[in-house]
Amino acid sequence: MLQNVFLKGKFCALEFICTTESTNHGTIMMRHAIPFFRKFDTRTKSRLLGKPFIEGFCAEYVMPQDVFVGFCENEFLKLNRQKVTDMYHVMKRDDTFQTDEIRTDKPITYFDSLEIIHEDDDLLVVSKPENVPVHATSRYLKNNLIHILKKEYSRYHPSMLPEEDLYPLHRLDRRTSGVLLLGKKKSVAGEFSHMLRNHQVGKQYLALVNGICNYDTHQVFKVNFPIMAVDPLHGVHRCVHSEESKEFIRAHYNDGDKPLDWNNAKHAETLFQVLHKDYTNNRTILLCQPITGRTHQIRAHLHAIGHGIVGEHSENYNKEEWIEMAHQSWRWKLDKLIKHGFGSKALIQEAIEEKIHGVTYQKPPSLGLFSVRYRYRNDIFECAIYRPEWMQDYSYSDIYYNMRHSELYKMVADPSLNFSSLEND
């Protein structure tokens, strides 16, 4: 059993490359997955049913139609494991398509050690570094925490990882750092989900927000505005609590593709308590406890009361720029696959030179959100060693003292303190 220790990993040079990037605050190291070939075999999604293959595929994967034609003609894209002879084939439920690709994961901030908060036969609890996704996604197939744990930690700390798999028990965004619970058995994941639905799991975050919060440090306050996904593709959720908020959402997120339905907004409730007011930089540090479990709930509630989290993305998302970048990526892949062929070592080397060493990467700004405590079963798990980058500007001992003496802090250990009488902010 491990408890609040830092473990070193053994860098896997067969799968990763590190680069040093210059920033305004010195140099940082970035971890890159060595480009790799991947064959995808995908069933037709329900939203593609009844659409012509070329139309549905290009819309779903943001591929230019001329590149789609090139992929089909060179058999890098097949339909039902056969060469595509009818690009306007109407997609049916049993249709599948196969894609040959060279993949280049997005880079992440390099780390070579992890705080292990707790480890036993059922659980692995770690402090997740910021800017590191938990599990594989389309942009981070290898550059994710679970894959790195398996490649760089399991061999040297065999008792830490199970033979079957690791199951993330809760969400923790790529840019959010802190306590992460991983189940070593599928049954643990099922038990956790059941307890979460029944409000038997407690969790608390520290948030660094813009502006000075008007509440006193001893005062717990509640926000319970309903939340809806206004841009699901980019993970943007906003509160729907007034006509002004609806007008804001219409202006920024309603592009006409899908009408906004305010009935999709879901009840959400979060408790907050001020821990520190930074008058010099016009910022506040809050202890946050979500009572419900809506996606991006803390961010949405803080945004709604005028105290957005420091480091949060700007509101101005340029859809045209994003589409153009996706189109360029597909064109690059097609050109290289035609030039070298799928599986070519020369293509891997060229991808390393062009996509890793030939590009200057910027580390995302530190997001002022830190998962600091979790209560599960009869245990409380808390980060004791790891600190997020944004915390370096503050005295953690002072913040920690204020946190431990706050009313909200006690609630994780004693759920009977539910503050149900509080009025909404």
Summarised one tens digit per residue, pLDDT across range 144-154 is: 999 999 889 87
Three-state SS for 317?
A: coil
Burial category of 325 from C-beta neighbours within 10 Å (exposed 0-12, middle 13-18, buried 19 and up): exposed
pLDDT at 240: 81
- Mean pLDDT, the chain, rounded, equals 88
**Per-residue pLDDT tens digits for 175-199:** 999 999 999 999 999 999 999 888 8
Question: In 3D, which of 132, 257, 272, 294 has the Cα closest to residue 204?
Answer: 272
Asked if pLDDT for residue 425 goes beyond 60, the answer is no
Q: Which is more confident, 138 or 288?
A: 288
Question: In terms of CATH architecture, what is 2-34+106-197?
Answer: 2-Layer Sandwich (3.30)
Q: What is the mean pLDDT of residues 350-358?
A: 94
Contacts of 327 (CB under 8 A, 6+ apart): 62, 63, 64, 67
Asked if pLDDT for residue 420 goes beyond 60, the answer is no
pLDDT at 234: 66
Q: At which residue do the structure tokens 């009488």 appear?
A: 421
Cα–Cα distances (Å) from 250 to 230, 256, 265, 321, 323, in that order, read 9, 10, 14, 21, 21
Cα–Cα distances (Å) from 193 to 90, 119, 381, in that order, read 39, 19, 17
Confidence bin at 315 (pLDDT 50/70/90): very low
**Per-residue pLDDT tens digits for 159-172:** 777 766 889 999 99
Give the span between the Cα atoms of 417 and 415, in whole angstroms. 5
| 6, β-bridge pairs | 115
Question: In 3D, which of 330, 99, 355, 137 has the Cα closest to residue 233?
Answer: 137
Give the span between the Cα atoms of 326 and 323, in whole angstroms. 5
Q: Which is more confident, 183 or 360?
A: 183
Cα–Cα distances (Å) from 159 to 123, 151, 376, in that order, read 11, 14, 22
**Per-residue pLDDT tens digits for 227-283:** 988 776 667 788 887 777 777 666 667 655 566 777 788 899 999 999 999 999 999
**Per-residue pLDDT tens digits for 48-85:** 999 999 999 999 999 999 999 999 999 999 999 999 99
Q: What is the mean pLDDT of residues 414-420?
A: 58
Asked if pLDDT for residue 322 goes beyond 70, the answer is yes
**Per-residue pLDDT tens digits for 88-100:** 999 999 999 999 9
Give the span between the Cα atoms of 161 and 233, in whole angstroms. 32
Question: In 3D, which of 301, 308, 279 has the Cα closest to residue 225?
Answer: 301
Percent helix, strand and coil across the chain, each to the nearest 5: 30, 30, 40
Q: Report which residue type is found at 261.
A: D
**402, two tokens:** 């204020």
Q: Taking a C-beta distance cutoff of 8 angstroms, is the pair 30, 110 a contact? A: yes
Give the span between the Cα atoms of 285 and 212, in whole angstroms. 9
**166, two tokens:** 């690791």
Give the span between the Cα atoms of 108 and 156, in whole angstroms. 23
Give the span between the Cα atoms of 327 and 78, in whole angstroms. 20
CB-side exposure of 327: number of CA atoms within 13 Å?
10
Tell me, which fold does domain 36-103+317-357 have in CATH? 3.10.290
Q: What is the CATH number of domain 202-316+364-373+385-413?
A: 3.30.2350
Domain ranges across the chain: 2-34+106-197, 36-103+317-357, 202-316+364-373+385-413
Integer-rounded Cα Rg, in Å, for the chain is: 23
pLDDT at 338: 98
The count of other CB atoms within 10 Å of the CB of residue 134 is 21
Q: Report which residue type is found at 32.
A: H
Burial category of 227 from C-beta neighbours within 10 Å (exposed 0-12, middle 13-18, buried 19 and up): buried
> What letter would DSSP give residue 364?
P
Four-residue CA torsion sign, 395, 400, 401, 407: positive
**Per-residue pLDDT tens digits for 98-141:** 999 999 999 999 998 999 999 998 999 999 999 999 999 989 99
The percentage of the chain sitting over the pLDDT mark of 70, rounded to a whole number, equals 89
For 333: left if phi > 0, alpha if psi spans -120 to 50, otherwise beta; the answer is alpha
Asked if pLDDT for residue 359 goes beyond 80, the answer is yes
Give the span between the Cα atoms of 148 and 78, in whole angstroms. 32
Q: What would you measure as the largest C-alpha separation in the chain, in angstroms? A: 70
